[in-house]
Structure 1
């Protein structure tokens, strides 16, 4: 007895040797955005472009002004390209001992401070990532407490003074050695690392210090690069700490130099006069100083950019 197929059931044609099983382009349903959605996207794009222009224009003007002469700066209130390129401002500041000394001091403090702060933060975050650590909840509560209630400027100054750190470069590093927010994010990242490589290392006889340096840190490059950039930017741009803790002008950092140049009415006494007959272009020197103080830290970002986006998100979900 034969079995008949239902009338609405059709057999698909056999696939030939040249048949492509993938659906034809456009065969699927296309997502169509409504008019309101397109208008919303257009407004967002226009607002973001406007904010970008407002943010970049002052910086571009400072760069252009640093290459302009004093007469052009006085006659043109705003421009993005100088008529005549004048390098006298850069020649002047790079020829002074005060600027070069402050630049070297800032580079040294930033490099050493970033290493110290990152080392202290990671070594504290690693044991706190262990859920079986005795007193872990108490320590985490104290860390969170410091995020909500900070000591303030005067108590911090008194602590630095009692520790004998005044007029010392360590006063620019140790008071902000561990950021509670950064500590919690790195701790969360360590908790998300797989346990198998760490357990295998312990079975092979590796100590906890060995596990930390050989297993945990190599797996943590994205977040280490991210917070190294955060710490470096914070140290590089800090002028409050040198203002409070350093009374010796020979120990000034670059940001203190920038502050003095931008607020001073006598650049010869602040920057240093090389030639008594030379009148420095005051506005151009201020612009050039700001540019030189900003560009170096911007050049660090491309080297860490491949880790930056990933490190911003990793460790920020789980508690």
Structure 2
């Protein structure tokens, strides 16, 4: 019997055994080729994700000579310097925008998370006031959005133009996050809540002492969703903020990188670097440094929240 016929016979035998046992295909023992190809595919995916980030970081740390020699983005690191970061963080547009983004992200995340927790807990209790109409209104927002012009008219009528509140209030609650958290709350055993009521605990006491300690995973995940949304948001600032001094970091990133506009220098702008004891960084390195500053905070926070994703999101999305 040849090798090819022997392989075909083994495949037919495995297929027949699977049919007789009723096992699906994904529960079959992987072949040698599948076991060998899995790490190769994962390595290629990891390389495709990390290589662009590597190039951005190396370019942001490169000198003018290295950027000129490479003709653009730098792949092989040579003559590394932190001149770009020193110029950006020594005061000016980027430093101010970075502080604004940090404050908006912190306040907005706390505000949105508080409202979402309260609303999700109320909607998860079947006997709560106007439970079904309010839930219907929340689900309706999945199908119909207000649109840009009505949203702008509402913000303008409330006097929030050129106000930091316009960066938080229009997107304070996400219907998706609310439904996920509500589903998670509904999975908490009702016996715990009923026993707390028998002991005389009110709804806020039940939420604080019983529900929240059991919901750390979903709260952490939803909080990360809100934080990333506020950190990366620029469209609200584009619509509602007319004063350049109130721009968050993403607006500066859009203006300087996407639209290729020159940020102001001097007082209130980007420092020239001459007083920092190093040569001024090239324009491309400054652009890549802004990109790094914009993505590093999320990369630092994500590993601490990652372990909660399966329990916080998948369970909350399946149950209820």
TM-score range, shorter chain: 0.7 to 0.9
Flag the 1:190–1:156 CA change in 2: closer, same or farther, 3 A: same
Determine helix, strand or coil for the equivalent of 1:147.
Answer: coil
Does the Cα contact within 8 Å between 1:127 and 1:133 map onto a contact in 2?
yes
C-alpha separation between the residues in 1 aligned to 2:299 and 2:260? 26
| Deviations 1:210-254 (CA, angstroms, capped at 9, x unpaired) | 111111111110000000001000100001111111111111111
Alignment counterpart, residue 68 of structure 1, candidates 62, 66, 70: 62
Quote the residue 2:21 is aligned against.
none
Flag the 1:140–1:41 CA change in 2: closer, same or farther, 3 A: farther
Q: CA deviation at 1:92?
A: 0.7
| Deviations 1:54-79 (CA, angstroms, capped at 9, x unpaired) | 22211110000001012211221554
Flag the 1:164–1:32 CA change in 2: closer, same or farther, 3 A: closer
Does the Cα contact within 8 Å between 1:267 and 1:282 map onto a contact in 2?
no
Asked if residue 296 in structure 1 is aligned to residue 291 in structure 2, the reply is no
Paired residues, number: 287
Asked if residue 272 in structure 1 is aligned to residue 269 in structure 2, the reply is yes
Does the Cα contact within 8 Å between 1:147 and 1:180 map onto a contact in 2?
yes
Quote the residue 1:287 is aligned against.
288
TM-score, normalized by length of structure 1? Answer: 0.83
Q: CA deviation at 1:194?
A: 1.4
C-alpha separation between the residues in 1 aligned to 2:309 and 2:28? 34
TM-score, normalized by length of structure 2? Answer: 0.82
Q: CA deviation at 1:176?
A: 1.0
Asked if residue 305 in structure 1 is aligned to residue 306 in structure 2, the reply is yes
Quote the residue 2:51 is aligned against.
57
* Greater Cα shift, 191-200 or 133-142: 133-142
Q: CA deviation at 1:265?
A: 4.2
Q: Residues 1-319 of structure 1: matches in 2 within 5 Å?
A: 33=29, 35=31, 38-40=32-34, 42-43=36-37, 45-76=39-70, 77-262=72-257, 263-269=259-265, 272-275=269-272, 280-319=281-320
Does the Cα contact within 8 Å between 2:87 and 2:273 map onto a contact in 1?
no
Determine helix, strand or coil for the equivalent of 1:82.
Answer: coil
Q: Which ranges of structure 1 fall in alignment gaps of 5 or more residues? A: 1-30
Flag the 1:306–1:276 CA change in 2: closer, same or farther, 3 A: closer
C-alpha separation between the residues in 1 aligned to 2:192 and 2:28? 47
Flag the 1:34–1:210 CA change in 2: closer, same or farther, 3 A: closer
C-alpha separation between the residues in 2 aligned to 1:201 and 1:236? 38
Q: Which ranges of structure 2 fall in alignment gaps of 5 or more residues? A: 1-26
C-alpha separation between the residues in 1 aligned to 2:183 and 2:211? 13
Q: CA deviation at 1:82?
A: 1.5
The structure whose residues are more often helix, as a share, is 2
Determine helix, strand or coil for the equivalent of 1:316.
Answer: helix
C-alpha separation between the residues in 1 aligned to 2:293 and 2:270? 19
* Greater Cα shift, 275-284 or 235-244: 275-284
C-alpha separation between the residues in 1 aligned to 2:143 and 2:39? 36
Flag the 1:132–1:144 CA change in 2: closer, same or farther, 3 A: same
Q: CA deviation at 1:42?
A: 4.8
Return the index of the structure with the highest Cα Rg.
1
Does the Cα contact within 8 Å between 1:102 and 1:254 map onto a contact in 2?
yes
Q: CA deviation at 1:95?
A: 1.1
| Deviations 1:146-174 (CA, angstroms, capped at 9, x unpaired) | 11111122211111111111111111111
Does the Cα contact within 8 Å between 2:181 and 2:316 map onto a contact in 1?
yes
Flag the 1:61–1:127 CA change in 2: closer, same or farther, 3 A: same
Flag the 1:32–1:132 CA change in 2: closer, same or farther, 3 A: closer
Q: CA deviation at 1:299?
A: 0.8
